[in-house]
Amino acid sequence: MEAQEAEHLLNHLGIPDPFSSRYSPRGIFCTRTLNLRSISAIGYDMDYTLMHYNVAKGMMVKMDVYSIHVIYALTYHLNHLVNSKDGTLVLLFWAYDYCMDNLKNMGFPVDGLSFDPELVIRGLVIDKEKGNLVKADRFGYVKRAMHGTTMLSTQTLSEMYGRELVDLRKESRWEFLNTLFSVSEAVAYMQLVDRLDEGAIATDLGPLDYKGLYKAVGKALFRAHVEGQLKSEIMSKPELFVEPDPELPLALLDQKEAGKKLLLITNSDYHYTEKMMQHSFNRFLPNDMTWRDLFDIVIVSARKPEFFQMAHPMYEVVTGEGLMRPCFKANSGGVYSGGSAQMVEKSLGIQGDEILYVGDHIYTDVSQSKVHLRWRTALICRELEEEYSALVHSRGHRTTLIELINQKELVGDLFNQLRLALQRRSKGRPAQTLAATHMDDKELNESIQKLLIVMQRLDNKIGPMMESDGELFNKRWGFLSRAGLWDKSHLMRQIEKYADIYTSRVSNFLHYTPFMYFRAQEQTLAHDSYSFHHPNHQDADEEQ
């Protein structure tokens, strides 16, 4: 009764209950139970975690420096860019264009190539031995693959990977695409695989195989330089690039006022961090607060993932111009460069699962803080909103597909029973049922032939529907989190393994309280069907 009254009061106050947020693209989803009341400090990454970038404005400003093929690609995909508001594409376009310019200077044939944002998604894996891009399920089995820019058939896929599993520990062969730069790199690489197969790459570049080609593309995309160029442009006019989020500072303010110590731990340098945080936070905070008032400790130039793995010298930023001095302990309200996670723990007097770290990079932010320090973790995955909407709009398609598969299973079971009846009859043994035993050979064979036709017709419907499942998210690769109709993708396995909670943006915390108890949903098992009582079956005790 008290619970019912609490629910009525929540409704009266206009506050959604905590369970309804699960059914929203802005929800926070839990893989391992997390009680925020037990969290003493929350650390945040900055780029693509606390800050996202506005594609429509930023890309329009930079059109004058893009080559014609990039402008064409942008125009073609403009509707996608505006609807998804995925700021990551700014960096993808820039990184790709920079990479292609360098490859051209190195002598590679790149004329006519343009960036295709639909060609590659995060979570895929490059097979550097075969020149393929693959999508694997949670066990490492390859479910879809592309050689160059051509998708491989199911038969080719089976012949090529039927005996192999994707093993990310074998770094010499497999490259996991979990960063923005790696997506740009993969687009360039897959396009050049086509040129290599065509024999269009000059022999004076050396005898290149697929591995050598990958190294050449990686050399052309010098990450540090292109990122530095991009950040200089953003700093000059942040209002043209940064996507404002008025809810974000308020979500962090709730956490701070609830007694959480807030940390900013970013690989960006001091000047960029100061400029961008000031622009994104100060105007939305009350009572003349600034972003610095929110955070107990700020770490810039953190050098993640090494920040979580080993100790580096730490320097305190002592002037607004960024001048620094060596130090050995971080104090509340300070801004520091370098250091290590252990230094932060020592300064706060807390460690391990008392700290929640929130970032967008599955390796640099989430897995390393989890593996080395046992911090609790939250992953920011902006594509989640687009995927959630695509899943909602695909419900009818997936329901119809499952119905057809169930029909085929029924027809197939009958087909197998009749085959078994014929097999037993040839050995002089009765079928499993009297009805099948009494059917003559002609009737059995005619029924089997009819069922074969029915199954073929069902296959003709199921096959194309299986291939198109997930195309509302990406026509080539389907959903980010799924590998086929029934299973999770390799990326989703990584998220479940390392992220306690995941969501599309930090401001989603505003729809919860800083005392929220995130409870993981029950993980169903293959034998959990015992809990569903079939009306035609009696309980074991009733039979006895």
Domain co-membership, 453 together with 469: yes
Region of 476 on the Ramachandran plot (φ > 0 left; ψ -120 to 50 alpha; else beta): alpha
**Cβ atoms < 10 Å from Cβ of 502:** 24
The pLDDT mean for the chain works out to 86
Query: Can you tell me whether residue 528 is helix, strand or coil?
Result: helix
Burial (Cβ within 10 Å: 0-12, 13-18, ≥19) of residue 233: middle
Q: Who wins on pLDDT, 45 or 207?
A: 45
Query: Can you tell me whether residue 83 is helix, strand or coil?
Result: helix
Q: Name which of 278, 279, 289 is nearest 253 in CA terms.
A: 289
CB proximity list for 409: less than 8 A, separation 6 or greater: none
Q: At what angle do helices 223-236 and 270-281 cross, to 10 degrees?
A: 40
Domain co-membership, 279 together with 337: yes
pLDDT score of 87 more than 80: no
pLDDT band for position 91 (cuts 50, 70, 90): low
Domain co-membership, 387 together with 460: yes
pLDDT band for position 99 (cuts 50, 70, 90): confident
Beta bridge partners of 264: 44, 298
27 part of a folded domain = no
Are 406 and 419 in contact by the 8 Å Cβ rule? The answer is: no
Domain co-membership, 371 together with 345: yes
Beta bridge partners of 125: 134, 176
Domain co-membership, 388 together with 458: yes
Domain boundary among 187, 203, 238: 238
Q: Is 500 a known ligand-binding residue?
A: no
Query: Can you tell me whether residue 184 is helix, strand or coil?
Result: helix
Beta bridge partners of 517: 35
AA identity, residue 488: K
Domain co-membership, 84 together with 45: no
Domain boundary among 423, 452, 479: 479
487 part of a folded domain = no
CB proximity list for 190: less than 8 A, separation 6 or greater: 119, 120, 133, 146, 148, 149
- Structure confidence at residue 533 (pLDDT): 54
Of 45-59, 80-94, 375-389, give the range with the top mean pLDDT. Answer: 375-389
Q: Total structural domains in the chain?
A: 3
Burial (Cβ within 10 Å: 0-12, 13-18, ≥19) of residue 386: buried
Look up residue 241 and give its two tokens.
Answer: 């690039």
Domain co-membership, 201 together with 311: no
pLDDT band for position 269 (cuts 50, 70, 90): very high
Q: Is 101 a known ligand-binding residue?
A: no
The answer to whether 440 is a known catalytic residue is no
Domain co-membership, 212 together with 322: no
Domain co-membership, 400 together with 435: yes
Domain that holds residue 461: 383-479
Q: Name which of 3, 7, 28, 1 is nearest 516 in CA terms.
A: 28
CATH of the domain at 256: 3.40.50.1000
Over residues 343-357, mean pLDDT: 95
Domain co-membership, 273 together with 184: no
Domain co-membership, 285 together with 340: yes
164 part of a folded domain = no
Q: Is 64 a known ligand-binding residue?
A: no
Look up residue 427 and give its two tokens.
Answer: 């050995």
pTM: 0.86
pLDDT band for position 261 (cuts 50, 70, 90): very high
Q: What is the DSSP string of 87-155?
A: THHHHHHHHHHHHHHHHHHTT---TT----TTT--TT-EEETTTTEEEEEBTTS-EEEEEETTEEPPHH
- Structure confidence at residue 523 (pLDDT): 81
pLDDT score of 514 more than 90: yes
AA identity, residue 139: F
Domain co-membership, 225 together with 333: no
State the catalytic residue, choosing from 45, 137, 245, 296. 45
State the catalytic residue, choosing from 47, 97, 365, 500. 47
How many Cα atoms sit within 13 Å of 263 on the Cβ side? Answer: 26
Q: Give the total residue count for the chain.
A: 544
